[in-house]
Amino acid sequence: MTQRSRRPADTRAWLGLLAVLGPVLLVSMDGSVLFLAMPRVSRALAPSADQALWILDVYGFAVGSLLIAFGNIGDRYGRLRLLMTGAVLFGIGSAGAAFAPSAELLIAARAVMGIAGATLLPSALAVLSELFADPKGRARAIGVFAAAFAAGFAIGPVVGGVLLERFWWGSVFLVNLPVIAVFLCVAPGLLREVRAIRPGRVDVVSVVTSASGLLLAVYGLKHTAAEGATASAVLAGIAGAALLTWFGVRQRRLDHPLIDFSLFRDRVFTVAVITGLLPLAAWSAVAYLAGVYLQSVLGLPVLRAALLALPGAVVLTVTCVVTPALVDRVGTRAALLACHFSIAAGLLLLLPAAATGGTGWYVASTAVAGVGYGISFAVVADTAVGAVPPERAGSAGALAETGNEIGNALGIALLGSLAAVLFRLHGPGLAPTLDETLRVPGLAEAAESDAMSAFVTGLRVAAATAAALHVALGLVALRWLPRSPASPGSAARPRRKTAAS
C-alpha cells in the first residue's frame, strides 16, 4: 500500500466518506428491506415456503460466503476498481429484482445483489482507510461507517414499509438505483485506488466449496422444514455438511486460507465473532417473523407496521454511535455482557404477543433488544482485531464482518425454519405458510384462527430460542472474558483498516 502522510483529513476525504456511505447503506439495508414487503411479494409471486425463505436470505449467504474472497481479489486487482464494478452489478441486480416476474428470478436477482454486496463492503472500508491518513480522523470515519452499516439494517423495514404504502413491492429495489448512479458519478473524482503490497493467492476451490456447502446445507434444512424430510433434502444437507467439513480441513493446509481457524484458539476472539453472528441471526429472523405477524395476523397496514419498527431502529442507531465512548469507560467485557442480556430480555418481551394483539410488546421488544444490537455492531470488529497480534488483524477483521453477514442469513434459515416446522405441525394443514393458508378459497373461520395461532406459536418459540442462545453466550462471556476495563478496541481502531486490505 502506498505510504501516506499523517496530515488531518481534508474536505475531499470527508466528501469521499459520504460517497462511500451510499453503497454501504444500501448493502446493509437490502439485508432487511424485504421483511415487511414479504406479504406483498407472496401475494404477487406466490412463492413456496422454501422459496420465500430463499428470497429473504440468499442475499445474506452470497455476501457472507464471498466477503473474504473478494477482499483478497480487491487486494490484487485494486479496491476502487472492484468497488466500481460491484456498484454497477448491484444496480443491475436491483433492477432485475424490482421487475422479477417469478419467485425463481427474484431469488436469482437477489443472489446477484449479494455477490455485488460482497465486493462493496471490504473495498469501501479499504478505500476509506486510504482517504484518512490521520489515525484520529480515520477512527472517526470508521465509526461513521459502522453506524451507517448498522442504520441500514435498522431502517430497511421502515424504508420498505414507507415505499409499499404508495408503490408496488418492486419499489424497495428501485430505490437503490439513484444512489448507485450518484456514487458512480462522484467516486472516480473523490476516491483513490488501493492495493496491497503482497496480496497472496485467492484459492478458488475454497470459495466454491464454502459457498456450495452453505447453500446445500441450508437448502436441505429449509426443504425439510417446509415439506418434511424428503430424500433430496436429506442428501443436500449431507452433501453440504461434507463440503463444509472438507473446506475446514483444506483451510489448515493453505498458506493463504480464506478463514484462519487458528484464530479461534483465542477465547476473546471467539466470543467476539460469535457475538457478531448471533445478534444478527436473532434480529433478522424475528424482524421477518414480526413483519408477517403485524400484517397477516394483526392486519395492520404496511406503513403502520413500518412505523412500529422505528423506535427500535432509532435505539439501535443511537446505541451504535455512543457505544465506543461508553466502552472506553466500562470496558469491552461489560459492553458484551450488556449486549447479550439486553437482546435476550428484548426477545422475551415478545412472548406475551398473541393473535388478538401485541403491538405494545413488539415495540418494547425492539427498543430493549435494540440496545444490544447496537452494541454488537459497534464493538465486535474492534474486539476481534484487538484480540490477535497485529500481523493477523486482517484475517480477524474479515472474519468478524463475515460473521455479521452469515448471521443475518442463518437467522432466517434456522429460526425461520423452526417457525415453519411449528406452523406445519400445529396449523390447519392446508398450506405450508400462513400467507398461503389465508389465500385458500373458502377458508373457514376456525381454520384461519388455527393458522394464526400456529404462526404466533412459531414466533414465540423462535424468539425464546434466540433469547436462550444469547443468555448462554452471555454466561460464556462472563466466564471467558478478562475483567480488565481496558478496551481492545482502543488499540485496534487505528489499524482496523487491515480488516479489508
Q: Measure the CA–CA gap between 111 and 118, rounded to whole angstroms.
A: 11
What are 371's three cell numbers? 440496545
DSSP-based three-state secondary structure for 283: helix
Same domain, yes or no: 487 and 405? yes
Q: Measure the CA–CA gap between 445 and 448, rounded to whole angstroms.
A: 5
- Whether 171 contacts 163, CB under 8 Å: yes
- Whether 473 contacts 347, CB under 8 Å: no
Query: pLDDT tens per residue, the chain (501 residues)?
Result: 444 444 455 777 788 888 888 888 888 888 778 877 888 888 888 888 778 878 887 887 787 777 777 766 766 667 778 888 889 999 999 999 999 999 999 999 999 998 888 888 767 766 766 677 666 666 667 667 777 777 787 778 888 888 888 888 889 899 899 999 999 998 888 777 655 554 556 778 888 888 788 778 877 877 776 667 788 888 988 998 999 899 889 988 887 777 778 888 888 888 888 888 899 889 888 988 998 899 889 988 878 888 888 888 888 888 887 887 788 788 888 888 999 999 999 999 999 999 888 899 999 999 999 999 888 877 776 677 666 665 555 556 667 767 776 777 678 778 888 898 899 888 898 888 888 888 888 888 889 999 999 999 999 999 999 999 999 999 998 888 877 544 444 443 433 333 333
6 within a domain of the structure (yes/no): no
Same domain, yes or no: 223 and 365? no
Nearest CA among 355, 369, 357 for reference residue 463: 369
Q: Tell me, what's the pLDDT at 93?
A: 93
How many structural domains is the chain composed of?
2
Task: Work out the number of other CB atoms within 10 angstroms of the CB of residue 202.
Answer: 18
Same domain, yes or no: 111 and 142? yes
Same domain, yes or no: 358 and 214? no
372 within a domain of the structure (yes/no): yes
Q: Measure the CA–CA gap between 124 and 145, rounded to whole angstroms.
A: 9
What are 190's three cell numbers? 473523490
Same domain, yes or no: 128 and 208? no
Same domain, yes or no: 44 and 96? yes
3 within a domain of the structure (yes/no): no
What are 439's three cell numbers? 389465500
Question: Which of residues 216, 236, 255 is at a domain's end?
Answer: 255
Q: Tell me, what's the pLDDT at 451?
A: 92
User: Phi/psi at 354 (nearest 5 deg)?
Assistant: -135, 170
Q: Is the dihedral of CA 65, 68, 74, 79 positive or negative?
A: positive
Q: Tell me, what's the pLDDT at 490?
A: 41
Q: Tell me, what's the pLDDT at 142?
A: 67
Domain extent for 218: 203-255
373 within a domain of the structure (yes/no): yes
1 within a domain of the structure (yes/no): no
Same domain, yes or no: 170 and 245? no
- Cα distances from 368 to residues 348, 364, 415, in angstroms, run 10, 6, 20
Same domain, yes or no: 190 and 292? yes
Same domain, yes or no: 355 and 237? no
Same domain, yes or no: 219 and 71? no
DSSP-based three-state secondary structure for 389: coil
What are 88's three cell numbers? 454497477
Q: Tell me, what's the pLDDT at 193?
A: 65
User: Phi/psi at 357 (nearest 5 deg)?
Assistant: 165, 160
Same domain, yes or no: 183 and 301? yes
Question: Which of residues 255, 287, 322 is at a domain's end?
Answer: 255
2 within a domain of the structure (yes/no): no
Same domain, yes or no: 239 and 266? no
Q: Which residues contact residue 97 at a Cβ distance below 8 angstroms, ignoring those fewer than 6 apart?
A: 106, 109, 110, 113, 170, 173
Q: Tell me, what's the pLDDT at 486?
A: 44
130 within a domain of the structure (yes/no): yes
Q: Can you give the CATH number for the domain in which 322 is found?
A: 1.20.1250.20
Q: Tell me, what's the pLDDT at 485?
A: 46
- Whether 83 contacts 187, CB under 8 Å: yes
4 within a domain of the structure (yes/no): no
Q: How many CA atoms lie within 13 A of 452 on its CB side?
A: 20
Q: Measure the CA–CA gap between 468 and 278, rounded to whole angstroms.
A: 11
Q: Measure the CA–CA gap between 461 and 173, rounded to whole angstroms.
A: 31
